[in-house]
């Protein structure tokens, strides 16, 4: 097992820093000592899972924090956003924080299955997989990578897109990630609920009701509407963005975690050639997949 510093250079010569590889798998160092963070990630396999844990898995910028908040509200029967959360992602925290978080825990992660607690394979832990159309994911991820000080990246989108497609960025190859979970959904459909970001945007109340049924939570339509309103993008961005001092430390001027949250922003960044190339790679890498992505909101 190895943990190493990791730096990228795109086709235009722009460098991207603030990363490590864990056994060859790229992750951010989360503004910490990279070796310490990498060893913590490797230790996650041995962490203990509880029967009532809910795991939320997603690629970066797919809406995991949004779904995480919805699940917490459904489980707690409260529509106020929880203050003082111990961790946003399991890969960002420590075993001590993880163990001290009260049940029921909603555990969000971008990690593939091989880095998650082994007990997930033995217990009947429910999982929610959140997917977003990969073109919008790429655009949103680009703004995070160019906006966060830790990455010190200022490359052009066209060069970033190549890194994204090739799986060189933090959290690796999106195609392998999606295929791995599609296989798991097919074999353990009773344990896994698939949420598409675009469905949640367009049919939010119905999707929240579906999540409540998956959790076994008795939630009225009225309560689900209240959850939906509480988790609107505007409300979420205002209450979950970093406070000003932290914001200035984390982000370059103009950067933010919650930017637009819309369907179809990729059209403002992809050229026709970019889009055609991406479609071709997606078709090749996802051959045989039954997943369908929504790239535009209805008129």
Place of tokens 């503004």: 31
What local confidence, expressed as pLDDT, does residue 86 receive?
60
Separation between Cα atoms, residue 140 and residue 156, nearest integer Å: 14
Taking alpha carbons only, the member of 257, 263, 155 closest to residue 203 is: 263
Enter the pTM of the model.
0.91
Per-residue burial over 104-124, b if 16 or more Cβ lie within 10 Å, else e, is bbbbbbbbbeebbbebbeeee
What local confidence, expressed as pLDDT, does residue 76 receive?
93
What local confidence, expressed as pLDDT, does residue 216 receive?
95
Q: Which CATH number fits domain 48-285: 3.30.465.10, 3.40.50.300, 3.20.20.70, 3.40.47.10?
A: 3.40.50.300
Tens place of pLDDT for every residue, the chain, 299 residues? 789 999 999 999 999 999 999 999 999 987 677 678 899 999 999 999 999 999 999 999 999 989 999 999 999 999 887 765 667 899 989 999 999 999 999 999 999 999 999 999 888 899 999 999 999 999 999 999 999 888 999 999 999 999 999 999 999 999 999 999 899 888 888 899 999 999 999 999 999 999 999 999 999 999 999 999 998 877 766 665 544 445 667 776 666 666 677 899 999 999 999 999 999 999 999 999 999 999 998 87
What local confidence, expressed as pLDDT, does residue 242 receive?
47
Domain ranges for the chain: 48-285
- Cα dihedral angle (36, 37, 40, 44), rounded to 10 degrees? -170
Per-residue burial over 271-289, b if 16 or more Cβ lie within 10 Å, else e, is eeebeebbeeebeebbeee
What local confidence, expressed as pLDDT, does residue 32 receive?
72
What local confidence, expressed as pLDDT, does residue 240 receive?
52
């Amino acid at each position: 097992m190895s943990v190493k510093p990791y730096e990228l250079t795109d086709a235009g010569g722009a460098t991207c820093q603030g990363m490590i590889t864990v056994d060859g798998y790229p992750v951010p160092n989360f503004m910490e000592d990279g070796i310490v963070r990498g060893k913590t990630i490797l230790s996650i396999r041995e962490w203990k899972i509880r029967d009532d844990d809910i795991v939320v898995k997603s690629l970066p910028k797919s809406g995991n924090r949004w779904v995480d908040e919805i699940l917490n509200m459904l489980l707690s029967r409260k529509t106020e956003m929880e203050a003082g959360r111990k961790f946003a992602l399991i890969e960002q925290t420590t075993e001590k924080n993880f163990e001290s978080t009260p049940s029921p825990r909603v555990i969000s992660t971008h990690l593939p299955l091989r880095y998650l607690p082994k007990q997930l394979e033995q217990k009947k832990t429910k999982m929610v997989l959140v997917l977003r159309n990969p073109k919008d994911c790429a655009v949103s991820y680009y703004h995070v990578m160019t906006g966060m000080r830790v990455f010190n990246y200022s490359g052009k989108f066209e060069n970033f897109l190549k890194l994204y497609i090739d799986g060189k960025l933090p959290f690796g190859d999106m195609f392998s990630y999606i295929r791995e979970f599609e296989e798991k959904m097919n074999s353990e459909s009773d344990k896994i609920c698939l949420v598409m970001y675009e469905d949640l945007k367009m049919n939010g109340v119905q999707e929240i009701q579906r999540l409540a049924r998956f959790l076994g939570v008795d939630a009225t339509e009225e309560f689900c509407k209240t959850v939906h309103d509480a988790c609107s993008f505007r409300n979420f961005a205002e209450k979950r963005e970093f406070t000003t001092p932290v914001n200035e430390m984390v982000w370059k001027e103009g950067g933010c975690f919650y930017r637009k949250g819309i369907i179809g922003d990729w059209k403002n960044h992809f050229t026709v050639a970019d889009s055609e190339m991406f479609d071709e790679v997606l078709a090749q890498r996802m051959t045989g997949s039954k997943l369908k992505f929504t790239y535009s909101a209805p008129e």
